[in-house]
Amino acid sequence: MGDPEDKTLFSTDTVLLPSSEGITAETRDNPNAIGYDGLGYVTPEVKVIAVAADASSEFILPSAATVNAGQYPISRDLYMYTDKEPTGAIADYLEWIMDTEAQTIVNELGFVPIN
């Protein structure tokens, strides 16, 4: 459980890497490494593990289905913001990313499509 008074965010042994590709490479090449990365960066040579929200919860493997069902406990949404009502190319882009074509691409790349 650790020390509740300790304000350290990470272990002093933590390696902070600048990219998802770096995290994947480190966890692939270092048998002692544990990494946290997006599903789209998982490759066949990287092992994923199931996690649980707490000690009494079921362990869940990460997948598009478990993320969209709200079962995988450490997923997050991605939001797009504009400073005003989008128009022109920005509105077209935002409309396209919600479309079936774009969501198919998202899925094919291994990321989680919108429900």
Token pair belonging to 44: 């066949």
Question: Alpha-carbon distance 43 to 56, whole Å?
Answer: 30
Q: What is the pLDDT of residue 1?
A: 54
Q: What is the pLDDT of residue 4?
A: 75
- The pTM of the full predicted model, rounded to 2 decimals, is 0.75
Question: Alpha-carbon distance 94 to 81, whole Å?
Answer: 10
Q: What is the pLDDT of residue 68?
A: 93
pLDDT digits (tens, 9 = 90+) for 39-82: 888 888 888 999 999 999 999 999 999 999 999 999 988 899 99
Q: What is the DSSP string of the chain?
A: ---TT---SS-TT----SSHHHHHHHHHH-TT------GGG--TTS----B-SSTTSPPB---HHHHHTT-STT--------SSS--HHHHHHHHHHTSHHHHHHHHHTTS----
Average pLDDT across the chain, whole number: 90
